[in-house]
Chains A and B, each alone.
Chain A
Amino acid sequence: MLFHEIYGRYFAVVSEILTEAAAGTLTDAKMTELVREKAFAESTLTIPAALKNGIWPLLRPDNSTVLEHAPTMPLTTLERRWLKALLSDPRIALFAPDAAGLEDVEPLYPQDAFVYYDRYSDGDPFEDPEYQQVFRMILTAIHEKRRLRIRFKSGRGRRQSWICIPVRLEYSSKDDKFRLISFSSRNPLTINLGRIRICQLLDPYTEEEFRPKAPRRKKLTLELTDERNALERVMLHFSHFEKSTEKLDELRYRLTVTYEQEDETELLIRVLSFGPVLRVIEPESFIKLVRQRLDVQNRLRAQN
């Protein structure tokens, strides 16, 4: 059963409060702070009151607890079965977790239960030991806040070497690839992990040096005509972007999508895929890109 109170925010926050109480460090202010940080917006009205008034008789008036230990909870069967299912995924080789304790556990599902039918077929080589080594080195650098020297082949086949501060590993399910998001003293650097040949851990960087460059973000305004179920298709397709939608009339909607400059070509073909039900309103530069492709296509059609 997925939907159960033992997995809930209330149980988690009360557990943290009782941990503080068991350590003798709980104050009323700390309790309120924990609830505000870890529970929901209105939980400050309920959780502290229930603990202080003895409705949940777990805390004494002096904020010590009647429990004899700091609270802990074993993994549930659901959680164990989920972990076991992950062991059959090819990407798990990147993490090499300790599978001890899961020997007799039945996986929650077999990996072949899922078909990712529109995933690109040239995903990263997750089972390649060299790839795994690069992946783990980057992960270590992120955790230990250290600089990295990476050597890679650029898109044009040139060998390059960079010293960078890694920010995160970004995965795309569609591409089935990881990319390293990083920055150097001058520039942001994003690179597919599959291109990195050698990776070397360097010295730690300071908090002051960690100044990731924000990607350049742009806005695209689209007008949608709700034909052939376009409203739902478009809304779902663009749902992973920060966006806002406005209803213009019974059939037409205006959609504003915020995207990163480097994704413009990809966004262009995604807009084209919807055909005439989705029209770019602004910026003019994006309209030009659409028009250019349409004109070339029209000429190709006339020639053949």
Chain B
Amino acid sequence: MAYSELIKDFGRIRDYMRQFYVYGFKSRMDYTTKSARSYDNERRRIESWLGDYMSFRQDGSGKNVYLSVDSRSIASNPLYQAFKAKSFTNGDITFHFFVMDLLQGGEAYSAAEITELIASRYIAEFDGAEPLDESSVRKKLREYTELGLLTCEKRGRENVYRRSGEDIHPETWRDAVDFYAEEDPLGVIGSYLRDRTPHGTETPFGFKHHYILHALDSQILADILAAMQENRAIDICVVSHRGSKGPKEHTVYPDKVFVSTQSGRQYLLCYHYQFKKPMFFRIDGIQTVKPGAVEQSPKFAEYCARYREHLWGVSPGIGFNIDHVEMDVHVGDDEGYIIDRLEREKRCGRVEVIAEHTCRFSADVYDASEMLPWLRTFIGRIVRLECSDKSVTERFYKDLDEMLRLYGGESDAVP
């Protein structure tokens, strides 16, 4: 099949874009899951969509292609481009413009009338142009009704189609759409709306700590949210990014989507029917979502709500045991901002001033080891660190020793 910059299936390109964006050190030889030709085609497509953000480097392993984006300086998430590259047939595009034009005055026609009018009003002018056949028109009319572009009503025994109303005032939404197109987890929809406005990509907004990779998971997220709206279970097919394990199927009840504002990762919190417990799945590891049965009982949502009370992040630890953590932090004169920092970052923890220059943070969480990265951000201030799971404090101090060794600290680490 001839190469095209457009694609029919989003799944394959999703993985390549992720690899180019997240890693950026891989050469053609490192992409082993598909053929070299497949790699060449996908790379060419991504270059076609995102040329301004593509970079190349040559090293011993070959030419490395990567996406480099300073997301603080962009007006729009460039990864949305992939969603705007869906392939279509010649009939699809001509039908679109003909039917929107034909019904613009508010008329309603049947499928047979639309087929005839398209042929006589538009296509007749072109010698040799193939008219659209009625069954294709009928199929497209149903599709456009599902999309919400048309409404279908009865005229006697036949269905007639009309353009949907344009009763929304898009000009009053302009700034909101500019903002949420970048900030909302399904901002790609806002990006579609922005494409329709004359001001294009010009925006009064910028974004700091702006993670853009989640855009590639938008369809999966939309499918999960649709099931949540209907209280439906879902069948998900999951691939782990860590190992080489193949895809696994799970039947779960979706409860919440956990979003990290500090890594951009999104997780599905759900109740797992087979394992009979709440679990997290990374959304970027979910390949497909199939809607299942409607869940009548609210017990799974209640179960997940109780579970959320002792989560620091997205790890349940082992056996749902609760770890107690205490960290005493030194606060110098005029360093009230440290207390403010603890307060705003404490999540399910507690903060109390225990002495003139000491503040205590404490928390009861399922997995205290998940707190280690955050605890390390207080290095230089930690007066005391205790955890009911001793391996957590051991890991903290072992890492500290290793860092002292790496950076050649002023003295040897205390054993």
Contacts and interface: CB of A to CB of B under 8 A. Distances in A.
Contacts, number: 381
B123 A57 contact: yes
A41 B48 contact: yes
A5 interface: yes
B262 interface: yes
11 contacts: A3-B86, A6-B96, A9-B195, A10-B6, A58-B94, A92-B176, A108-B186, A121-B346, A232-B242, A237-B262, A273-B377
Contacts of B48: 40-43
A173 interface: yes
Query: Which 7 pairs of residues, A with B, have the shortest CB-CB distance?
Result: A77-B148, A293-B380, A101-B167, A242-B70, A276-B402, A95-B176, A5-B88
A296 B404 CA distance: 11
B24 A297 contact: no
B239 to A, nearest CB: 14
Nearest to A37: B200
Interface string B389-407: 0000000010110111011
Which residue, B87, B256, B261, has most C-beta atoms of chain A within 10 A?
A: B261
A11 interface: yes
Interface string B196-221: 10000001111111111100001100
Given A66-B122, A119-B261, A273-B373, 11 more contacts: A3-B86, A74-B164, A76-B147, A79-B189, A95-B179, A100-B169, A121-B343, A121-B345, A247-B61, A280-B407, A294-B380
A189 interface: no
B345 to A, nearest CB: 6
B298 interface: no
A168 B206 contact: yes
Nearest to B175: A95
Interface residues of A, number: 124
B376 to A, nearest CB: 5
Contacts of A89: 180
A265 B146 CA distance: 51
A150 interface: no
Interface in A54-74: 54-58, 60, 66-69, 71-74
Interface string A221-244: 000000001011101110111111
Interface of B: 4-6, 10, 21-25, 47-49, 51, 55, 57, 59, 61, 66, 68-72, 81, 83-88, 90, 92-94, 96-98, 100-101, 104, 121-123, 125-126, 128-129, 146-149, 163-170, 172-173, 175-176, 179-180, 183-186, 188-190, 192-193, 195-196, 203-213, 218-219, 222, 225, 228-229, 241-242, 256-265, 269, 308, 311, 313-314, 330, 340, 343-347, 372-374, 376-377, 379-384, 397, 399-400, 402-404, 406-411, 413-414
Contacts of B228: 109, 113
Contacts of A72: 100, 104, 166
B313 A117 contact: yes
Given A18-B97, A78-B189, A83-B168, A239 B264 contact: yes
Contact of A57 (B126, B399, B411): B126
Contact of A240 (B47, B185, B203, B210): B210
Nearest to A236: B263
A11 B209 CA distance: 33
B403 A2 contact: no
Given A60-B125, A97-B176, A236-B22, A171 B208 contact: yes
A14 B376 contact: no
B202 to A, nearest CB: 10
A43 B4 CA distance: 10
A269 B377 contact: yes
B209 A240 contact: yes
Nearest to A292: B380
